Amino acid sequence: MLLNITRENHTPLHQAERERDRLPPISSHSSSGLDRGPKLPYPSLNFISNHRKEDGSHSLSSQFILPGIRHGMVRHGRELPPICPNVRLKHQHQHRITVDNLPPEVRARFASDPVMPLRTKTVKEFQEDIERATVSGDWKHVHDFYLTTFGSFLELNAAFKKDASPPFNTIEDSGINTKFVNAVYDALSHTPPDAQRAVLKGIINSLLREWKGSRRTKDDLRAYFILVQNPQCTSPATYVIYAHLLRQIAALAEADHYFLMHWFKKLSQKRFKQLVERLHLFISTRLFPVKPEELPPMAKCSWWIPSATKVLSLLNAANIISSTPILPFVDFYNPTLDHTDFMEDYRIWQTQGNSTRFTFCQFAFILSTVVKKAVIQKDSEQQMISMARQSLVDKVSRRQRVDMSLLFLNIKVRRLQLVSDSMDELTRNRADLKKKLKVSFVGEAGLDMGGLTKEWFLLLIRQIFHTDHGMFTFFKDSHCHWFSSWKCDNYSEFRLVGVLMGLAVYNSITLDISFPPCVYKKLLTPPVVPCDLDPPVGMATLTLDDLQQVMPDLSHGLAELLSYEGNVEEDFCTTFQVSQEELGVIKSYNLKPGGDKIPVTNQNRKEYVQLYVDFLLNKSIYRQFTTFYYGFHSVCASDALMLLRPEEVEILVCGSPNLDMSSLQKAAQYEGYSKTDPTIRAFWDVVLGFPLKFQKRLLHFSTGSDRVPVGGMADLNFKISKIDASTDWLPISHTCFNQICLPPYKNKKELKQKLTIAISNAEGFGLE
């Protein structure tokens, strides 16, 4: 096909080419050499022919043909073709002439053996060329540089490789002069349009050659690594070329992806972020093009988005394996996907898994927490409806009276026996945990519109996590709770905490829980409860960094042990045995068999630290956490959990601690007031001037939680209402409606005084 295209665009042929065409084919299979490469649908690049006509060069013809010749020869034992069909060699089976039979002086280099041209231009020389062209207006020299450099993978390596000789076949160093690449790309936008078109033309030709050839060296990977950084790919006009580049990168072997991943992590944060943003823009534009006529029909380029997403996954992997994340994980979210049919995507993923059919759920890092929360909620709603329907059918089949309360998980508790009553109710209604939650307090009239449920969660969590209860230990240095390691016969209360967390996610309630991040890692180990109960759960692979978030002082001490330059055995006098206090009693545990007799040395101290961390965060609390794990998953058993990162589980359970009162002001609704009323203006002046501590109290006073839900402040539906009452009254809140009621205070000072008193003393629905 490429041969035909080339001939069409370079007619008339030279006499030498006509003579060549009269020769017999290399072999009956030689054409297959042109068809090498992945057998994926490859849209036509007919527009390339226009560029070739303008160029008028014949060099492409031989370059396109040679790979086919090479593969044809290799495939048949490197046999030379016969001079013509009528020539018969005597004894050809016994004395067949091959390249291997030729004497050394007759052998010639194969045309397929690439010889890298020598390019010596430096960054400084290039920048001087740009400056001269800018002053003189003569851009020919710069134009020729761009045209030559981007004309082939070989030229890209010749221009940007640090040294042409060493192979640089290492993940630690791409061998690319990154400073030169950045300078060339930064200058590109300031060059005339013909220079920019020359780059695009060169990329087209390079990709066509590479697509039909075979990749053998890391130089080809280096070329992809350079091309994918091209800033021209932000324009929809270049998206056809960009899509083919992404597709070729996505189709590389896993080993090649491994190299690219490590090279990507070496980029500066600025360049790395540009790559991520460029891919997001490409995906978003393909999904919702501003001008659909600028892009091919979706039916003809259905592979665009999968290819871009796969390349984005390489960048995400590079971000993960980097010692310090280059970008926050939220930068890999694509908000455009919030407006797609993600439930259909989830359904396909559920039924087909990671099959050949592309779904965004296969690449969950690209889905925002908003999407994941919506998936979990809709999945929960379906399970709730299913449970309620089953209960209804059971009642009807038994000809029993149908009570609408059977559609809900009804919890009725006494305030003075809150923990024990809650545990009894949840145990008794274990089969109904996936129904909609309704809470009532004994002896109190009230309809649960959400406020009673919030209060129940709030009061129950506070009691369970109180240090007097003994289930959890609070570490002041890290401001978090951790599981008490004491041993007992009954761990059912830990199951209650797990159920509460599951119910909170299931019913979209944010909890005031201060667990360290490693708890959520353990909750997702594994994300789906194993069918066989024998495999251990919650045994995550944790490090010293995880311990730092729980016990910073101990973590610091262990880090000093690892970096100690003296004799560890003599100076520390430590063995593979550790001690900890349990209910006032000091108990010792061996980290490995015979640990009390194994000294910690310079050679085994890494093993000691890893075993110690594993003991503290996994083994010493295994029974407690296992019960907690099964409690959580008894409510939240959903495939959607496999889409979540540990940080996202924490946000779903606890909300986000990052308050933005300006966003709350923009999203606020008013009843009886308008946003220009003096009382409202004074209210926001006071609130925006509050320290963070008081802003959290205000949020807790009006919503029942000081955390921000997944969708942000706008999801709170925060409302300020006017009450015709004396200005001596304090503000009133309705947490079930996220509503605060204000009398028309006379001035800002009075409003601030009354509001401060209210938010500093409120508890649930009343004052203590």
Count of C-beta atoms within a 10 Å radius of residue 669: 13
Contacts of 258 (CB under 8 A, 6+ apart): 171
Residue written as token pair 């925006």: 688
> Which structure tokens are listed for 605?
């101290």
E runs forming strands in 44-104: none
Task: In whole angstroms, give the CA distance from residue 394 to residue 299.
Answer: 48
Taking the alpha carbons at both ends of the chain, their separation in whole angstroms is 84
What's the confidence (pLDDT) of residue 506?
A: 81
CATH number for 655-761: choose from 3.40.50.300, 3.30.2410.10, 3.40.50.10420, 3.30.420.10: 3.30.2410.10
Task: Report yes or no: 375 and 343 within 8 Å, Cβ to Cβ.
Answer: yes
Q: What integer is the mean pLDDT of 296-310?
A: 95
In the predicted structure, residue 405 carries a pLDDT above the cut 60: yes
Lowest mean per-residue pLDDT among 166-175, 297-306, 584-593 = 166-175
Task: Report yes or no: 497 and 630 within 8 Å, Cβ to Cβ.
Answer: no
What's the confidence (pLDDT) of residue 407?
A: 76
Task: In whole angstroms, give the CA distance from residue 742 to residue 724.
Answer: 9
Instruction: Please tell me what DSSP assigns to residue 15.
Output: H
% of the chain at pLDDT higher than 70: 82
Considering Cα of 672, then 673, then 678, then 684, what sign does the dihedral take?
Answer: positive
Task: Report yes or no: 1 and 176 within 8 Å, Cβ to Cβ.
Answer: no
- What are the tens digits of pLDDT across the range 593-650? 999 999 999 999 999 999 999 999 999 999 999 999 999 998 888 888 899 999 999 9
Q: Report the mean per-residue pLDDT for the chain.
A: 82
Instruction: Please tell me what DSSP assigns to residue 33.
Output: G
For residues 506, 507, 511, 516, the Cα torsion angle rounded to the nearest 10 degrees is: 10
- Rg value, the chain, Cα: 34
The catalytically annotated residue of 233, 518, 736, 741 is 736
What's the confidence (pLDDT) of residue 282?
A: 97
Bridge partners of residue 79, in order along the sequence:
98
Task: Report yes or no: 634 and 502 within 8 Å, Cβ to Cβ.
Answer: yes
- What are the tens digits of pLDDT across the range 712-734? 888 888 999 999 899 999 999 98
Task: In whole angstroms, give the CA distance from residue 578 to residue 566.
Answer: 22
- What are the tens digits of pLDDT across the range 516-530? 999 999 999 999 888
Lowest mean per-residue pLDDT among 326-330, 376-380, 590-594, 680-684 = 376-380
Per the annotation, the verdict on 736 as an active-site residue is yes
Instruction: Please tell me what DSSP assigns to residue 8.
Output: H
The overall longest dimension of the chain from CA atoms, in Å, is: 119
- What are the tens digits of pLDDT across the range 192-245? 999 999 999 999 998 988 766 555 578 899 999 999 999 999 999 999 999 999
What's the confidence (pLDDT) of residue 145?
A: 94
In the predicted structure, residue 654 carries a pLDDT above the cut 70: yes
What's the confidence (pLDDT) of residue 33?
A: 36
In the predicted structure, residue 332 carries a pLDDT above the cut 50: yes
Task: In whole angstroms, give the CA distance from residue 688 to residue 296.
Answer: 49
Pairing label, strands 480-483, 472-475: antiparallel
Pairing label, strands 719-722, 669-671: parallel
For residues 673, 678, 683, 684, the Cα torsion angle rounded to the nearest 10 degrees is: 100
E runs forming strands in 298-345: none
Q: What integer is the mean pLDDT of 387-412?
A: 79
- Residue 385 exposure: Cα atoms within 13 Å on the Cβ side: 6
In the predicted structure, residue 15 carries a pLDDT above the cut 60: no
Q: What integer is the mean pLDDT of 13-31?
A: 37
Task: Report yes or no: 349 and 361 within 8 Å, Cβ to Cβ.
Answer: yes
> Which structure tokens are listed for 356?
């050949």
Task: In whole angstroms, give the CA distance from residue 244 to residue 38.
Answer: 13
> Which has the higher per-residue pLDDT, 763 or 507?
507
Q: Which amino acid is at 65?
A: I
> Which structure tokens are listed for 765?
């629905």
Task: In whole angstroms, give the CA distance from residue 707 to residue 655.
Answer: 5
Task: In whole angstroms, give the CA distance from residue 479 to residue 473.
Answer: 10
Alpha helix stretches (DSSP H) within 400-491: 418-428, 451-464
For residue 585, name the pLDDT band (cuts at 50, 70, 90).
confident
For residue 741, name the pLDDT band (cuts at 50, 70, 90).
very high
What's the confidence (pLDDT) of residue 446?
A: 67
- For residue 36, which of 93, 108, 114, 112 has the smallest C-alpha distance? 112
* Distance from chain centroid for Cα 308: 14
- For residue 479, which of 308, 657, 344 has the smallest C-alpha distance? 657
Residues in the chain: 768
What's the confidence (pLDDT) of residue 388?
A: 75
- What are the tens digits of pLDDT across the range 747-759? 999 999 999 999 9
Query: Helix or strand or coil: residue 732?
Result: strand
What's the confidence (pLDDT) of residue 451?
A: 74
Considering Cα of 138, then 139, then 142, then 144, what sign does the dihedral take?
Answer: negative
Lowest mean per-residue pLDDT among 63-67, 130-134, 167-171, 449-453 = 63-67
Task: In whole angstroms, give the CA distance from residue 233 to residue 227.
Answer: 10
What's the confidence (pLDDT) of residue 392?
A: 80
Alpha helix stretches (DSSP H) within 23-163: 48-55, 59-75, 123-136, 140-149, 153-160
Q: What integer is the mean pLDDT of 673-683?
A: 94
Q: What integer is the mean pLDDT of 502-521?
A: 89
Task: Report yes or no: 195 and 188 within 8 Å, Cβ to Cβ.
Answer: yes
Query: Helix or strand or coil: residue 97?
Result: coil
Domain ranges of the chain: 114-214, 233-332, 655-761
